[in-house]
Amino acid sequence: MEKLDRFDIAILKILQHDNFTPQRDIGQKIGLSAAAVQRRVKRMKAEGVIQRNVSVINREKIGRPITLFVEVIMESEKAEFIDSTKAIFRTTPEVQQCYYVTGDADFMLIIVVPTMHDYELLTRRIFFGNNYIKHFRTMVAMDLVKVGLDVSLDAIVL
């Protein structure tokens, strides 16, 4: 865990909202020179605090309007089965997010597809074709109330 001061936090807050914000503007907003901002951003990238920089694409505007949640329950928790199943989910483009969890389910997936028919085909491919999967439970997203990868930076202990 890296040590970050209030300037770093302030920079991260801005960047996780809009990473095209000019460093001059950031500097002005938080009371630092552009060069200082530049160095801090560079450092945080190198440290891995800033993991990556991405554009978020509107799934509806490109014909992928269906978002689904899938809870997957495995037949067994054997590491071998778990790992191979992780690999499948990781490499399936329609699987936007995949988490290995404790609790009632083993995996939680978020899947984005053009139509329910595509989802049906997908289930045949990745669920019914996998003998380690006992069963799965699907929920359809009706409203994407809040979508992002933002991390709360408000109450960071300095």
Partner DNA sequence: ATAAAAGTGAAACAAAATTGCACAAAAGCC
Partner DNA sequence: GGCTTTTGTGCAATTTTGTTTCACTTTTAT
Residues at the interface with DNA (CB under 7 A): 7, 20, 22-24, 27, 31-36, 38-42
**Other CB atoms within 10 Å distance of the CB of residue 62:** 9
Cα 74 to Cα 50: distance, rounded to the nearest angstrom: 34
Does 158 engage in binding with a second copy (CB under 8 A)? no
Does 62 engage in binding with a second copy (CB under 8 A)? yes
Figure out which of the listed residues 72, 94, 119, 133 binds a second copy, where binding follows CB under 8 A.
94
Does 49 engage in binding with a second copy (CB under 8 A)? yes
Q: Which residues fall within 8 angstroms of residue 100, CB to CB, at 6 or more apart? A: 82, 86, 106, 107
Figure out which of the listed residues 6, 17, 42, 117 binds a second copy, where binding follows CB under 8 A.
17
**Other CB atoms within 10 Å distance of the CB of residue 135:** 11
Does 46 engage in binding with a second copy (CB under 8 A)? no
Figure out which of the listed residues 35, 99, 121, 129 binds a second copy, where binding follows CB under 8 A.
99
Pick the closer one to DNA by CB: 36 or 88: 36
Does residue 16 contact residue 151 with C-beta atoms inside 8 Å?
A: yes
Cα 96 to Cα 92: distance, rounded to the nearest angstrom: 8
* CA contacts within 13 A on the Cβ side of 85: 26
CB of 7 to DNA, least distance (A): 6
* CA contacts within 13 A on the Cβ side of 94: 22
Pick the closer one to DNA by CB: 9 or 108: 9
Interface residues toward a second copy, by CB under 8 A: 1-2, 4, 12, 15-20, 47-64, 67, 69, 86, 89-90, 93-105, 107-108, 112, 137-154, 156-157
